[in-house]
Amino acid sequence: MLLLSVVTIRGHPHSYYQKALLSNGVTSALRLHQRVPHFQFSREYLAQLFLEDSAHYLFYSLIFVTGPPVSSILICIE
């Protein structure tokens, strides 16, 4: 309860929610870039891209960053 009161005093909880999802998205994009570095506009590249776990985490973050804050969504972030 103390943590909740500190978070609400310091700033709006929605901004912390968005920051957590955006930082996860940036981290996932960086990992994805390290694993699949050379961009090619081909079917094989896209297939390899979607096989990476980092792509799934990136899409997860992008889907939920614009929605209303739901704390259970943050549990799934690495």
Asked, for residue 78, whether it belongs to a domain, the answer is: no
> CA 61, CA 65: separation in Å to the nearest integer?
6
Asked, for residue 45, whether it belongs to a domain, the answer is: yes
Asked, for residue 14, whether it belongs to a domain, the answer is: no
Domain count, the chain: 1
Asked, for residue 2, whether it belongs to a domain, the answer is: no
Asked, for residue 72, whether it belongs to a domain, the answer is: no
Alpha-carbon radius of gyration of the chain: 16
What's the whole-model pTM score?
A: 0.71
Asked, for residue 73, whether it belongs to a domain, the answer is: no
pLDDT band at 5 (very low <50, low <70, confident <90, very high): very low
Asked, for residue 12, whether it belongs to a domain, the answer is: no
What pLDDT is stored for residue 9 in this prediction? 53
pLDDT band at 26 (very low <50, low <70, confident <90, very high): very high
Domain with 28 in it: 20-65
> CA 64, CA 21: separation in Å to the nearest integer?
8
Asked, for residue 75, whether it belongs to a domain, the answer is: no
Angle formed by the axes of helices 53-64 and 43-51, nearest 10°:
80
Chain segment 10-20, per-residue pLDDT in tens = 667 678 888 88
> CA 68, CA 64: separation in Å to the nearest integer?
8
